[in-house]
Structures are given as structure tokens and as C-alpha cells.
Amino acid sequence: MRGLPIRGRNMRKTLCGSTAPSTTSRAQQHPMNPHRQLDVTFARSQFPAFAEPSLEGYAHFENAGGSYPCAPVVQRLHDYYRRLKVQPYYAYPASTEAGEWMDASHVRLAEYLGVTAEEVHFGPSTSQNTYVLAQALRQLLKPGDQIIVTNQDHEANSGAWRRLTREGVVVREWCVDPASGELQIAQLDALLTDRTRLLVMPHASNVVAHINPIAEAAAKARAAGAIVVVDGVAWAPHGLPDVPSLGADVYLFSLYKTYGPHQGLMVVHRDLIEHLGNEGHYFNAYDPRKRLIPAGADHAQVAAAQGIAEYFDALDAHHGGKSASGRAQRVRELLRSAELALLSELLDYLATQKSVRLLGPAKASQRAATVSFVTKVAPPEQIAARLAQHKIMAGHGHFYAKRLVEALGVDAASGVVRLSFVHYTSREEVGALLAALDAVLA
Ligand SMILES: Cc1ncc(COP(=O)(O)O)c(C=O)c1O
């Protein structure tokens, strides 16, 4: 694996690191262009769920479990099922158009991720994608080779890799700080050796939400000759990253948490894919798009996924974006800056609650808009049920980050309360959440 032609990519830092603006007053402003603040009314007008009578009055704070899908995705799914639900890529019109839609999803999402269309792979879920990827990577590993996993990850980016011990691979664990839940970069230095072949880590945790310094960790791992696999599921909804600038060889996330259909997307660097095992049918090995998707593509969902890019296009145009150049960066900054002010409000509020233990960083700049806590007042399930009575949709449990919850000294059987939001969350909804928390935590 050492010496694979996957070196020397652009390592420029992005806003998606821990360098984003932090304070409440500045957070409402666009970090580079103070005139570009999210028009949240416009954003919400692009989501059918906000016009759905049965959801009226409910504030969605379980976005880390699944976001609302945007209108272009819903429309394309509907149209595909009505008009194009035939085998794609044949010469008759419905089939040709179906194939064109699928290809367009590769192209359009690749644009927002800074990669090529061939590097984009759609699978049933991130759990399935990491599972297949681990099988495909297995052939590059020899007994005694070392891989580094974390205990901050969702199990999707953990178990599949840890099971490689069956092949004689040595698993080394990068452990979180038990008080803060953070992965400290100094510890990575101690884990990297000349036998390290792989580093797998999350861009952000789905529980403590700390934004990990991926570019720095990836640079260290790559310098040691390792491949870097990043689970971006808990980060991507807050702004699709420019993947090359992160230095990851593989970047995975889930479209159903990112305003799209129930699919997983993985970016696999073009120089890596040919070294991986072919996990698809043998006669399809020549086609990079089929090598890592043994389940076969869900045609309609792949076809509809381009709707996410169309939504981002509309958002950018509404906020004055005039060309495709720089659009991806403008959109990620727009999403992030919209969340930061509200995130600070929620964190400031929780800091005043003596019964609450916040998990993860207290500073908005260091985390995604996912906020987990435990409280002496009642178990998480009861807190979430009481919040539901106030029409607040919240989650509870360990969210498949069981190792992390345990490392934090929290009983995984009851887990944590999780409140997660995205750019379309309104100030009024956060106000309703704080009022509900006041009642529930009293
Ligand atoms: C951080 C993280 N990684 C991976 C996953 C698994 O994603 P999927 O449901 O697409 O398998 C989740 C799902 O909640 C997650 O939050």
C-alpha cells in the first residue's frame, strides 16, 4: 500500500476545519462576505415538509438522524417513478433519460465535493459502504499490518474495520479524552508506526459533534504511508466539504441526512480504486462505478440525488451567486454561518443549566450543530418524550456511537438526549426549544 499514487494532493485548509467563526454576534454574518446571510424563509420554502400540515408546529431537532428532503429531490423521485422507472441506459427515451439523470447525480454532487464524477459512488447506506470498502481494502493488508480506528466513530466506521483482526491485522485504537470526548491529535502521533496502513476516523462525531482536524490528521497518516478513510456523515449536512483539501482518500456520508434520498455516498480517490478488490460481479470489474456497489444502485434514488445540488444552486442564486465558480464554497459558508448563531444560543442556554452535562465542546466554532447532553432530572428517553409533548422532535440513545458514550462514562443503555439542527432551522424553532427545555428541565 505504501507508495500508492495517492500523494501530493492539494492540502489547502477549508472552512470546514475548526477555524470557522465562533461568537454569537459574528456568527450571523458571512465570514468572508458579511452581506451574505441565509434567508431562512427562502431555504424553508425549498422543503415540502415545512408546508406539510401534519408536521405543522413541530420543530425538527433530530436532523442528525435524518434531515427533511429538499423539493428538487422529492420532485425528481416522483417524476422518476412516474416517467422513468425502466431499466436505464438503453436507447428508448425513458431509459436514456433515466441513465442521464443518474449520470447527472454523479456529476453534480462531484462538483460540490471538489472531485470527479467517477470518484462518486452511491450505495444503500454508509454502513453498507464501509462494510464493502473494508472487504475491498482487505486484500491490501497483510498479517501484522496496523490500522488505526477511533472510539469516537459511529459503529458504521468502526466494526467493519475492527473485524479485520480476523485477517491478522492489528487494530490500534485512538481513544477520546473521557471528559471532553475529543480526539487529541498528539495521540495520533503515538499510534502511527511504519506498519500503519490505514487511518479511519470521523469528520465530526454524531454525539459530541467535535469537528476533527482532518487535514492535519490525514497529512500525518499519509506521511506514514497510510490510507485515510473519513466518515463525514455527521458533518456533510452542515456543508459538503471540498474533499481534496481534507486529504482523505475516502470520504463517506449519508444523503438522507443531507437533504436527499436514503442513500450513502462515498468519494474514493481515483488512484485508490484500482488497487482495491472488486466487490461487484467479476465481468464488471472494468467499471469503477460497479466495483464497490455489490447491492446494485437504487436507480431512482441515485437519479434524484442531483436534486441536492439543484437546491444548493438555488440557494446560491437566491443569495446573489452569479456563477458556478466558487459556488460550493459560498454554499458551505452560507450553511455554516446560519447555524453558528443558533448553536451558540443553545450552548449558552445549556451552560446555565446546572443539572445538565453537555457532551463535547462548549464552543460553537468547534462543533457541528448537534448537541447531546445528559441530565440528573430524568433519563434521556423521558426527556425526549417530554420534549415531544412540546412539539420538539428530539432523539435519545447512544446513536450507534456506543463505544464513545461508554468512554464518556455515560450508561449506554439509556444514552443521551440529542438535539441536532441544520441551516433551515429557524430562530423561532430554537426559541421554542429553549422554552420547552425550561419546562422539561425544571
Ligand atoms: C456519524 C455516522 N456515521 C455513519 C452512520 C451510518 O449511516 P447509514 O445510516 O447511512 O448507514 C451514521 C448514522 O446515523 C452516523 O451518524
Give the list of residues 6+ apart from residue 65 with CB closer than 8 angstroms, or none: 257, 395, 399, 420
Q: How far apart are CA 243 and CA 234, in angstroms?
A: 15
For residue 144, the model assigns a pLDDT of 97
236 C-beta closer than 6 A to ligand 1: no
233 C-beta closer than 6 A to ligand 1: yes
Query: Which residue's alpha carbon is nearest to atom 16 within ligand 1?
Result: 206
For residue 277, the model assigns a pLDDT of 93
Crossing angle (nearest 10°) for helices 427-441 and 327-351: 20
398 C-beta closer than 6 A to ligand 1: no
Do 395 and 381 form a contact (C-beta atoms < 8 A)? no
Tens digits of per-residue pLDDT, 327-384? 999 999 999 999 999 999 999 999 999 999 999 999 999 999 999 999 999 999 999 9
Hey, CA dihedral for 175, 180, 183, 189, is it positive or negative? negative
Q: Which of 11-20, 79-88, 427-436 has the lowest mean pLDDT?
A: 11-20
- Using 50, 70 and 90 to split pLDDT, how confident is the model at 158? very high
- Using 50, 70 and 90 to split pLDDT, how confident is the model at 36? confident
User: Percent of the chain having pLDDT more than 70?
Assistant: 92
Which ranges of 319-421 would DSSP assign to H, the alpha helix? 327-351, 380-389, 402-407
Tens digits of per-residue pLDDT, 255-284? 999 999 999 999 999 999 989 999 999 999
For residue 19, the model assigns a pLDDT of 25
- Cell for 303? 437519479
Mutate to test the pocket of ligand 1, among 67, 130, 254, 293 (most ligand atoms within 8 A of CB): 254
201 C-beta closer than 6 A to ligand 1: no
First to last CA, the chain: 56
Residue 33: pLDDT over 80? no
Q: What is the mean pLDDT of residues 63-78?
A: 98
Q: How far apart are CA 395 and CA 432, in angstroms?
A: 16
Write down the mean pLDDT value for the chain: 92
Ligand 1 centroid to residue 418 C-alpha, Å? 15
Q: How far apart are CA 90 and CA 132, in angstroms?
A: 28
Neighbouring C-beta atoms of residue 374, cutoff 10 Å: 23
Ligand 1 centroid to residue 159 C-alpha, Å? 13
127 C-beta closer than 6 A to ligand 1: yes
- Using 50, 70 and 90 to split pLDDT, how confident is the model at 2? very low
Which atom of ligand 1 is least distant from the CA of 127?
11
Query: Which residue's alpha carbon is nearest to atom 7 within ligand 1?
Result: 126
- Using 50, 70 and 90 to split pLDDT, how confident is the model at 9? very low
